[in-house]
């Protein structure tokens, strides 16, 4: 009985090794690659950085390694691989979403995602709110650290009035302010309880008589305070 068990073990091991050897032959190496979902990066640049041009064995290709290879592409959030044997790989790319724009310390306008990351150069007419941090000289790019509240609020703006927001400002104390195209200003305070604050803003816009320059404090949504222009 023991001999049969040992023999069976040898056969299974041999088959496994043989399978591994076969799957690493040229016929089962990556020969064809298709990218789906790429809009802000070129397929040629992504392919060159992916490691797939070296024709790795299909069995060794995986999502985690590919994401690591493509980490330098700021627009690429994640990737999912579909293998079509014997030698084709389809890479589905999930891109980051720009929620705002902001200027670098060299005055270059960049797209920004909800985490505050700079995604790449943006045109001056980008139809997104501009982020500001009130102490920009102390931090080269504050929107991933001390000024991250501005990016987060920009990512949460409701469709009711998102298009009316021209600027989202964060300050050293973490308070966020919305400047509208009207122009009106809404003080949100800390970026918490945003749903209630946004409901209050939408209600004020829809039902209140305001004049350009009014500053509306919605830090406490149930206790709105309006400061007319020129008031101290």
pTM reported for the whole predicted model: 0.83
List strand residue ranges (DSSP E) for the chain, in order: 32-36, 76-84, 88-95, 100-103, 109-112, 118-121, 130-133, 165-170, 176-180, 185-189, 215-217, 225-227
Kindly tell me if the per-residue pLDDT of 15 is higher than 50: no
Look at residues 69, 67, 84, 77 and name the one whose alpha carbon lies nearest to residue 98: 77
Give me the mean pLDDT over the 116-145 stretch: 91
Tens of pLDDT, residue by residue over 58-87, are 999 999 999 999 999 999 999 999 999 999
List the domains of the chain with CATH numbers: 26-95 (3.10.20.310), 100-227 (3.40.50)
Give me the mean pLDDT over the 143-155 stretch: 95
DSSP symbol at 220: S
Tens of pLDDT, residue by residue over 90-116, are 999 999 999 999 999 899 999 999 999
What pLDDT sits at residue 44?
A: 95
Kindly tell me if the per-residue pLDDT of 174 is higher than 50: yes
Higher pLDDT, 4 or 128: 128
What pLDDT sits at residue 7?
A: 45
Higher pLDDT, 192 or 1: 192
Give me the mean pLDDT over the 135-156 stretch: 89
């Amino acid at each position: 009985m023991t001999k049969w068990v040992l023999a069976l073990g040898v056969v299974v091991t041999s088959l496994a090794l043989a399978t591994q050897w076969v799957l690493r032959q040229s016929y089962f190496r990556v020969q064809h690659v298709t990218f789906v979902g790429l809009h802000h990066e070129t397929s040629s640049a992504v392919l060159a950085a992916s490691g797939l041009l070296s024709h790795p064995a299909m069995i060794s290709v995986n999502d985690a390694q590919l994401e690591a290879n493509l980490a330098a592409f700021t627009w690429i959030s994640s990737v999912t691989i579909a293998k079509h044997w014997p030698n084709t790989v389809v890479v589905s790319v999930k891109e980051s979403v720009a929620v705002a724009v902001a200027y670098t310390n060299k005055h270059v306008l960049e797209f920004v995602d909800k985490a505050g990351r700079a995604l790449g150069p943006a045109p001056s007419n980008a139809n997104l709110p501009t982020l500001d941090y009130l102490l920009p000289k102390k931090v080269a790019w504050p929107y991933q650290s001390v000024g991250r509240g501005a990016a987060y609020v920009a990512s949460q703006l409701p469709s009711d009035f998102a298009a009316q927001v021209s600027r989202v400002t964060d300050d050293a104390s973490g308070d966020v302010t919305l400047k509208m195209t009207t122009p009106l200003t809404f003080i949100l305070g800390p970026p918490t309880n945003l749903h209630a604050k946004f409901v209050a803003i939408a209600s004020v816009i829809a039902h209140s008589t305001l004049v350009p320059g009014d500053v509306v404090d919605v830090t406490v949504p149930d206790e709105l305070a309006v400061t007319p222009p020129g008031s101290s």
